[in-house]
Structure 1
Amino acid sequence: MTAPPLIDVVDLERTFDVRRRVDGSRRRVRESVRAVHDLTFSVGAGEMIGYIGPNGAGKSTTIKMLTGILEPTGGHLRVAGLEPQRNRVELARRIGVVFGQRTTLWWDLPLQDSFDLLQKMYRIPTDRYRANLDRFVELLDLGDQLDTPVRQLSLGQRMRGDITAALLHDPEILYLDEPTIGLDVVSKGRLREFLRALNAERGTTLVLTTHDLQDIEALCDRVIVIDHGTAVFDGPLAGLHAQGGSTRTLVVDLVDEADPISVPGATVRRVEGPRQWLSFPADASAAPIVGAIAAAYDLADLSIQEPDIEDVIRQLYQSGDRA
């Protein structure tokens, strides 16, 4: 028998009433704006989902409905078998939420005190709390920061603290909104490794919203793209790239100037002195292209530029394919 989805969304809708000026006059009229409409998807236990789209697409509104902050104005919504708005307290014990630019920690308190307060709020048994805290502090390298006031932590340290805080009560679902924003490469890598381990060891369901496609590629097997309040794609990231025809860019710095590079699978788009820009399909591996270039040319440096989320969605529409 197939298990029911952990998150079940059917024809979800959320409208807001706004007042707008009429023709520059002082008179205002009330209008209804649909932030989310006809949105349908489901998420099974243990899945790692990328929930992406351009700014203003409806991502944050969706997450607020999933967590019970906002009430839907239409459709069906269940999270862990509960109606989020009507069962906010019960649901809060089963989910964790991390917003990249907002902290749930107490700004002037040491990090340890924030964790201790959350233990009391969630009524976490002491043995379970200590085991979880010790595990997450070790994995996220927070041991030296426990006595530091939150306001003195770096952005990367605070983010790791927020993720620890969101997981102390063993939630079934973790919502992450831009969790790597502003982090350096090392901190991003450490955080991604932790999230992969969390999913593998505990089966935690992950819903990730981000503009960083590298986060999606590193963590998520499935992507849901939302635009203008409704889903326009639901499937693997490679399928999104294939439908939209998006490309990645390989920036190659040669030791000396040369004619445009010729290697299978890539096309030179621009040449400036010893630097050349080559494009290749975003769902293709860069390894054979890099290997072919390294074998035939003297390289000084190279880097890969990922497609922007907005560009991917724009190309999806231009291709005429809508999921």
Structure 2
Amino acid sequence: MIHVEHLRKTFTTRTGRFLSAGRRTHEAVRDVSFHIPRGEIVGYLGPNGAGKSTTVKILTGLLVPDSGAVTVGGLTPWQDRRRHVARLGAVFGQRTTLWWDLPVIESLRLLRHVYRIPHARWQENLDTFTDLLDLRPFLHTPARALSLGQRMRADLAAALLHDPELLFLDEPTVGLDVVAKDRIRDFIAHINREYEVTVLLTTHDLGDVERLARRVLIIDHGQLLFDGDLGRLQAAYGSQRELHVDFEAPVEQADVPGLTLLSHEPGRATYAFTGAAADPIARVTAHAPVRDLTVREPDIEATIRRIYEGDLLRAGVR
């Protein structure tokens, strides 16, 4: 669906004033290459200013790169823009595609004409999305009167009415409560599974990534630093796994050879370890009778934070 080869984009800005004015160049995207097959959900991650938005604007046809090759569904976005935009949908968390003063249903009716959707197909999609996103309570409410969660659900419906092959999502759950996030994540997973819509997801909410994407791309300072499975990222750069143990009785000495004791209180202890859990579990159960235990995986948010702050990927392998 998406093929990107050696993509580069540089911006030039003016510095200073009048006679002392000069120019400064900033390479927003540097030699980025990746491929996304049809029907995949990919998380595109990076700190602010990393190059994510520039990449997405090129993929949607809003920007023209300085060099490199880009095709989306066989089309070059900025050259075949009319055909290209008819096959994609986009939801940006801070912007809306709804008409501000119109009821939601009127915006959705207008979009039927914009995209020239056959009425029967439009009605079928509207009915499906109304049920999945629970739109019925606010279909006749103006967009300006919607809560953030309601507006995001309506924007998702608007972006998908015309059966796009590709969906760009930028911070789709920003500012939402837990219930609203779950509904939107479930809906995205559904349309990907049932309609094989390819999804490129840019977000700072790593709950979105864990719930939806198996593959992640990480970009920083315009360079693609990682392209691979989320589990491989955790294994390579994640913190240690944790073993939480409840003993049958209070244990005065909780140190276990081969494990790092993180915390200890009467009857309970937490250990850090790497690798498979079988050996640490065997060591703990041999140390003292155990009532219950839990293995906690490294937190993806902590992993990404360590990568950004520690520049870990630059020293590693993609």
TM range, smaller chain:
0.7 to 0.9
- 8 A Cα contact 1:243 1:319, kept in partner: no
In structure 2, do the counterparts of structure 1 residues 206 and 318 end up closer, same or farther at CA, with 3 Å as the change threshold?
Answer: closer
**Corresponding position of 2:8:** 13
- 8 Å Cα contact 1:247-1:307 kept in structure 2: no
| Aligned sequence identity (%) | 48
Contact conserved, 2:105 with 2:139, CA < 8 A, in 1? yes
- Which of the residues 194, 202, 211 maps onto 1:209? 202
Corresponding position of 1:311: 306
Cα gap change, 1:20 to 1:197, in 2 (>3 Å): same
Q: Secondary structure at the match of 2:163?
A: coil
Q: For residue 93 of structure 1, what is the amino acid of its counterpart?
A: A
SS at match of 2:83: helix
CA distance in 2, matches of 1:26, 1:60: 33
Using the TM superposition, give the Cα deviation of residue 271 of structure 1 relative to its aligned residue in structure 2, in angstroms.
8.2
Kept in 2, the 8 Å contact 1:12–1:39? The answer is: yes
**Which protein shows a greater Rg?**
2
Q: TM-score, normalised by structure 1?
A: 0.82
Count, aligned residues: 305
5+ residue gaps, structure 1: 1-5
1:129 is matched with: 122
> In the alignment, is the contact (CA less than 8 A) between 2:103 and 2:142 conserved in 1?
yes
Which structure 2 residues correspond to residues 1-323 of structure 1 after superposition, within 5 A?
A: 6-21=1-16, 27-246=20-239, 269=262, 296=291, 306-308=300-302, 309-315=304-310, 317=312, 320-323=315-318
1:151 and 1:239, CA in 2 relative to 1: closer, same or farther beyond 3 A? Answer: same
* Contact map agreement 1:54 1:310 (CA 8 A) in 2: no
Structure 2 unmatched runs, 5+: none
**CA 1:279–1:133 in 2, change beyond 3 Å: closer, same or farther?**
farther
Counterpart of 1:156, as a letter, is G
Cα deviation, residue 305, structure 1:
5.8
Query: What is the CA–CA distance in structure 2 between the aligned matches of 1:119 and 1:264, rounded to whole Å?
Result: 67
* Cα RMSD after superposing both structures: 3.6
Distance 1:276 1:15, change over 3 A: farther
User: 1:307, CA displacement in angstroms?
Assistant: 2.3
Letter matched to residue 307 of structure 1: E
* TM superposition outliers: structure 1 runs of 4+ over 4 Å: 247-252, 257-273, 275-281, 295-298
Decide whether aligned partners of structure 1 residues 265 and 54 sit closer, same or farther in structure 2, where only a CA change above 3 A counts. Answer: farther
TM-score by length of 2: 0.83
